Amino acid sequence: MKRLGSRKVRWVCGVTALALALASFFANSVQTVHDKQKVAKMMDKMKTVCVGRFLIDLPAEAEVTIGQGAIGGIDLSSTLRESEEEFSSRVRKMEIDIAGTLNEESRVSLESVRQLSDGAGEGKLFVHNRRRSKLHRGDHIVSVENVAVHSLLRFPGLSVTGNADWIDPDYVDDVMRLLGRIRPLQPNEIPRESGFCLADAFVRDPYEHRQSESVVMFAGLPGYPDVNIVLSSMSGTSPAPGLLQRNAAAAAREPVFMQMAFTNLREQTRAINGLQGEELITRIREPNFTTGYSFQWESPGLKDDILAPLLTLELESGTNPVTGGKPVQSTLSEEAMFDLWEQIASSIRLRPTETDKAGAPGTVAMELGIGAYAGDVCPQTGWWRCGDSGPATGILGGERQFLKQGQRMPQALLLPQPTMWQRLRGVQPSYENRHPTLWTLVDKRNSVRVSTPAALEQAILGSELLIIPAGDTPMAHAETPIGSVAKTGAACPASGWWRCEDSHALDGTRWFAAGSLLPAATFRAQLHGRFSTHPELIHRRSAWQLVRYADAPDNTGAQRLES
């Protein structure tokens, strides 16, 4: 009896454990679905934020703060919360304070006060605190002098403050010109002119930046106090180990029990809109049994190129909103965090400006490396590389596409890896990014399109061929004029030659009989994760335009139409 009772206890315990595990699994599944729906709703309405020379899309409800920026060694900050009287009082107090101090040589610190005036902005620049020091330059010791500058600039409703503690006295004139390039930035404004976005101000090109610009954006989501978003842009940095290398070195230094708390969910190189970078996504199990997530992407940039700064994007959850507080449980599930990350990270792109916009056909030849966004007029015939591709994402038509000068740059159709279920059904998922695709010119050689007898999607004849061909009806041509457009799946209204509306399709111009159902268009797509070296074919709905009547197909007619 005792053995029987112990077996019953073990059986009950096993069933209970299984029930609890199933309950936990279903609860987590329900929570995941709920969180993904919340993120999807959050991303329905987006807003674009200008950070330095780049743009990023965030949920419209996100609370955004842009911190102090620095340009050419000058720290710049701004405020909308100061009145004209308060600004004037601050200028007077600053002048009195500086004039009342002595420099290291026991002389009056204030050297000069310069008036700032440019359009709607007025203010003062104070030059003070001259210092002398000696530096080693090779085998020589040289004497150098530095001064400090403090500027106060006022626009209607906006105050801008600039500071630098150590600058060359000969650089003061450049600082004056830099300050003269500042203008207010209107709420939600995305400037079209070339320059650098700060919190509430914009510095217009050209100005003396000395290859040094930096700014940081912070964003939070109402209702999710543990979720933080940070985007940092800093140009002029020296080469340093990348994100993945630093992470590997840091992990190697940690004890085993600490390493077990971190699980790397993704470690890879990742290009975003033509910006080469590295991505690291980590799950963190905290000692207080909470789970948080860290998403990071970093582009190292180029030291001497302000258009290629060190860019860092971070998305974290599980952070206690109270400074110094213990970590908290992530308010969003892992899958929902991935959805949020993909939407935000994939939106980072260089801000297009009027001078960057492509010109009309016939302009001078462009240099390799120029960029153009979807919707722009192609400025140069040649091969263009899509910036939306990734290690696990293909591009309809290929990552490199041949585009002709004068045509509109296309929006890339992205082809992620299909799930196992989609593979079984023979379905290729696809989607488009919310932001315009950035294309980069990589080869200016011309290319002749080669037609292919690939397995094009065929038109479907009417049921039992009982549909009377439109070409046999006297009024058929009158009712379907040349130039008429019909979509995939619709009955062909007239026998003749129909041209596929999608320029990337392999179909070109094809003959269809009246009454047949117009087919989907056929495309080549190099799918990721496949071992075949030949691009696969996919079929998507399209539109067809009638270009010539013909009761029966003839190849010579097709050749004339294609040419």
Which pLDDT score, from 0 to 100, does residue 11 have?
A: 62
Percent of the chain residues past pLDDT 90, beyond the cut: 37
DSSP lists the bridge partners of residue 159 as 79, 154
Q: What is the mean pLDDT of residues 204-212?
A: 87
128-156 burial code (b ≥16 CB/10 A, e <16):
bbbeeeeeeeeeeeeeeebbbbbbbbbbe
Q: Where does the pLDDT of residue 141 fall: very low under 50, low under 70, confident under 90, or very high at 90 and above?
A: confident
Contact 508, 522 (CB under 8 A): no
Range ranked top by mean pLDDT from 188-202, 344-358, 461-475 = 188-202
Distance separating alpha carbons of residues 490 and 313, to the nearest angstrom: 47
Asked whether residue 278 carries a pLDDT value surpassing 70, the answer given is yes
Distance separating alpha carbons of residues 179 and 290, to the nearest angstrom: 48
Contact 321, 301 (CB under 8 A): no
Backbone angles phi, psi at 6, to 5 degrees: -65, -35
Asked whether residue 235 carries a pLDDT value surpassing 90, the answer given is yes
Distance separating alpha carbons of residues 324 and 285, to the nearest angstrom: 18
Three-state SS for 519-531 is: CCEEEEECCCCCC
Which pLDDT score, from 0 to 100, does residue 13 have?
A: 56
Of 109-118, 175-184, 447-456, the range with the lowest mean pLDDT is: 447-456
Distance separating alpha carbons of residues 399 and 395, to the nearest angstrom: 6
Q: What is the mean pLDDT of residues 401-407?
A: 82
Q: Which of 347, 385, 72, 424 is nearest to 213 (CA)?
A: 72
Cα pseudo-dihedral 471, 475, 479, 485, rounded to 10: 0
Q: Where does the pLDDT of residue 152 fall: very low under 50, low under 70, confident under 90, or very high at 90 and above?
A: very high
Distance separating alpha carbons of residues 104 and 129, to the nearest angstrom: 8
Q: pLDDT per residue over 356-386, tens digit each?
A: 444 433 344 566 667 777 877 788 888 888 8
Q: pLDDT per residue over 57-91, tens digit each?
A: 999 999 999 988 999 889 999 999 999 999 999 99
Q: What is the DSSP string of 302-351?
A: -TT-TTS-EEEEEEEES--SSTTPPP---SS-HHHHHHHHHHHHTT-EEP
Return the structure tokens found at 6.
Answer: 């112990």
Of 203-212, 346-355, 360-369, 424-433, the range with the lowest mean pLDDT is: 360-369
Return the structure tokens found at 241.
Answer: 């180990």
Q: pLDDT per residue over 511-548, tens digit each?
A: 888 888 888 888 766 444 443 344 567 777 788 888 88
Which pLDDT score, from 0 to 100, does residue 361 have?
A: 39
Which residues 6+ apart lie within 8 Å of 79 measured at CB? Answer: 158, 159, 161, 200
Q: pLDDT per residue over 304-340, tens digit each?
A: 888 999 999 999 999 999 988 899 999 999 999 999 9
Return the structure tokens found at 32.
Answer: 């995941």
Q: Which of 318, 314, 267 is nearest to 293 (CA)?
A: 318
Asked whether residue 271 carries a pLDDT value surpassing 50, the answer given is yes
Asked whether residue 222 carries a pLDDT value surpassing 90, the answer given is yes
Distance separating alpha carbons of residues 400 and 382, to the nearest angstrom: 10
Q: Which of 123, 118, 113 is nearest to 87 (CA)?
A: 123
Contact 196, 183 (CB under 8 A): no
Q: What is the mean pLDDT of residues 248-266?
A: 87
Place of tokens 């079984």: 424
Cα pseudo-dihedral 488, 491, 492, 493, rounded to 10: -130
The mean pLDDT of the chain is: 81
Q: What is the mean pLDDT of residues 215-240?
A: 94
Q: pLDDT per residue over 97-117, tens digit each?
A: 998 898 888 888 898 999 988
Contact 405, 378 (CB under 8 A): yes
DSSP state letter for 231: E
Q: pLDDT per residue over 466-507, tens digit each?
A: 344 444 443 444 567 888 888 888 888 888 888 887 777 777
Q: What is the mean pLDDT of residues 3-19?
A: 57
